[in-house]
Structure 1
Amino acid sequence: MDETDWLLLDELQRHAGLSNQVLAERAHISAPTCLRRIRRLREAGLIAAQVALLNEDAIASLQGHGLTAIAEVSLDHQGDEHLSTFEARAVADDAVMQCYRVTPGPDFILMIRVRDMPGYQALAQRLFTQDANVRNVKVFFSVQRGKFETRIPLNR
């Protein structure tokens, strides 16, 4: 990894849709070299995916308001098998945007996005109520998002 690789990773985090030509210009390298470097970074597992981030507010205005919730989930039994079982169910649910196994405190923090309160109730039934191992759930509903960032700060 050299400075050019770090620069390419940073540019891709900011603007994944840039053409190879533009990326090459920004990195001061040729387009074929840029393509080879990006392919190598992808093969090394440093680039997991290239996606489009949608504007939640714009989507909500088309589909309904939408609810964002942060849930703290504590399990009765914290053995690795129990934790893994709950985690697998949570990550398989489309409404769960992010899932973190944490310590100390609750066992999991879930970032949830649903269309409306009935959508949340359905999710709660699927993930929290039907699992006898879920001891406690504390949910916070977002009223405003101050910041959302997907870019990882790269210390070069």
Structure 2
Amino acid sequence: MPGTFLDELDLRILRILQADSSISNTDLAERVHASAPTCLRRVRRLRESGVIQRQIAVLDPRQAGAPLTAIIEISLDRQAAEDHDAFEAYICAEPAVTQCYRVSPGPDFIVTVEMADMPAYDAFARRLFAGASNVRNVRTFFSTHRAKFEANAPVASGGGRSGG
């Protein structure tokens, strides 16, 4: 949430939780040099304010049965805000979609999907894009190697306000 003040203790907590959100509150408190009740209150405040949106497990797509990563550029015909909103809701409802960004300039959206194989991607693309009346252009890139994947947001050093 914009405007949430983050002090050094909050930043230390966030760095550790981004690396391993399964850490116990006691271990977290020890690592950030604070009491367990203080850590519990801080983490609760960070969740309630929206700084921590959710805690997840990051899976290896190959081991989870979805080794094909496709990065898709999508351009729409109609550019009104409601058209963008409608397409975003449509694409984000798809379980295979792992990331969706509105971008500028260039295409309107960049979407990442994780699929089992090329036939699964083909079925996905036919179902989602062939029937979408507002899709002008789709361009897909297939990952041949993932050199880095992080779900972490940079955590500034020094106090400050969250950027949202």
When normalised by structure 2's length, the TM-score is 0.88
Percent of aligned positions with the same letter in both sequences? Answer: 53
What letter matches 1:26 in structure 2? R
Aligned to 1:150: 151
Matched, 1:55 2:60: yes
Separation in 2, partners of 1:2, 1:82: 40
Deviation at 1:73, TM superposition (A): 0.5
Runs of 5+ consecutive residues of structure 2 not aligned to the other structure: 1-5, 158-164
Matched, 1:7 2:12: yes
Deviation at 1:22, TM superposition (A): 0.6
Relative to structure 1, the CA distance from residue 57 to residue 66 in structure 2 (aligned partners, 3 Å threshold; closer, same or farther) is closer
Deviation at 1:116, TM superposition (A): 1.4
Aligned to 2:41: 36
Moved over 3 A (4+): none
Aligned to 1:90: 91
Separation in 2, partners of 1:2, 1:133: 45
Root-mean-square deviation (Å): 1.2
Matches within 5 A, 1:57-136: 57-60=62-65, 66-136=67-137
What letter matches 2:34 in structure 1? I
Runs of 5+ consecutive residues of structure 1 not aligned to the other structure: none
What letter matches 1:56 in structure 2? P
Which structure has greater helix proportion?
Answer: 1
Deviation at 1:58, TM superposition (A): 2.3
What letter matches 1:82 in structure 2? D
Between 1 and 2, higher relative CO (CA 8 Å, sep ≥ 6) is seen in: 2
Separation in 1, partners of 2:63, 2:135: 35
Number of equivalences? 152
Separation in 1, partners of 2:45, 2:145: 39
Residues 61 and 114 in structure 2, CA contact (< 8 A), matched pair in contact too: no
Helix, strand or coil at the partner of 2:15: helix
